[in-house]
Structure 1
Amino acid sequence: MYCRKCGAKLSDTAKFCDSCGEAVVVVKQRSDAQKYAQRNEEQKAKKEKAERKKRKREKKLDDLKNPYVIPAIGTAILAFGLGIFPWPSSWGVGTSLWMRILIFVIALLSDYHCTKSRQVNRLYNIQYRYQVKPKVVTTATVLAGVTTVVALFALVTM
């Protein structure tokens, strides 16, 4: 090893040059193969970090649930089923006022749940670019809307 300032020969453990007093700076030299190996390791580390981030995001998306989807479709089917069920005339239930009101209230409840499920899906779409069962929500919305209109018509035309 030699001094960078005066060129005097130095021992391997020297901290300062014996001739000029300059501080010894040890520079590690790397071959091109070592540089490329380090660069490849850095690229692999970046890829692994990106993969971990992607897996974490996918796990987060798997955990997302829309709590309004099941009540929306359930109440829509219930209201629609009560509205089209062929009640026996001996029961006197199908044309009664309280039954029409019940069907209308359940249809309104279904409309509420459909609206909330669409709002939650819109929020998930904004935050994560992901929606929870959008076709089921659309089906429930159409079914609830039709049932509400028919139930309201049945109430008004009594």
Structure 2
Amino acid sequence: MVINRELVCLDLKAKDKLEAIHELGELAYSIGRVKSKDKYIEAVINRENDFSTAVGYSIAIPHGKSNEVIEPFVAFGRLNEGIVWEGSEAQEVRLVFLIGVPEHNSGDVHLHVLANISRNLMDANFRNQLLTAGSIDEISSVLQAVEIQ
């Protein structure tokens, strides 16, 4: 699982969680990680409707297992201003990690990625670096250093 430069957006324009999911889903689609953007996003939204993926610390980790995912990925987006992540008891979110995993290998890969991201997000310094990084290269370095792969 690789977060590369093409999967990072430092200025998401989203005004709510659906827009954030759509923006990052479009990013994954634009670089060929998903076959059908709409079907993949639908899977993510269905999962989100079951249980909110806001995890605290201004972070959400929406994810979807779908046959539309060609190759596992994590897209990262940062909002300039926090948005209310509906369904999460009105938690404000500024950092969004969108995970996509093919349905056929969703078990271990999906859980490994969630665990790895969650473990690193417990570190206040790591979160602060994600909030203050000035460039995509800087974000990429932070994410690569903690091996979110």
Q: What range describes the TM-score normalised by the shorter chain of this pair?
A: under 0.3
Q: Which has the larger radius of gyration?
A: 1
Q: Which has the higher helix share?
A: 1
With a CA cutoff of 8 Å and minimum separation of 6, indicate the structure with the bigger relative contact order: 2
Normalising by structure 1, we get a TM-score of 0.19
Normalising by structure 2, we get a TM-score of 0.20
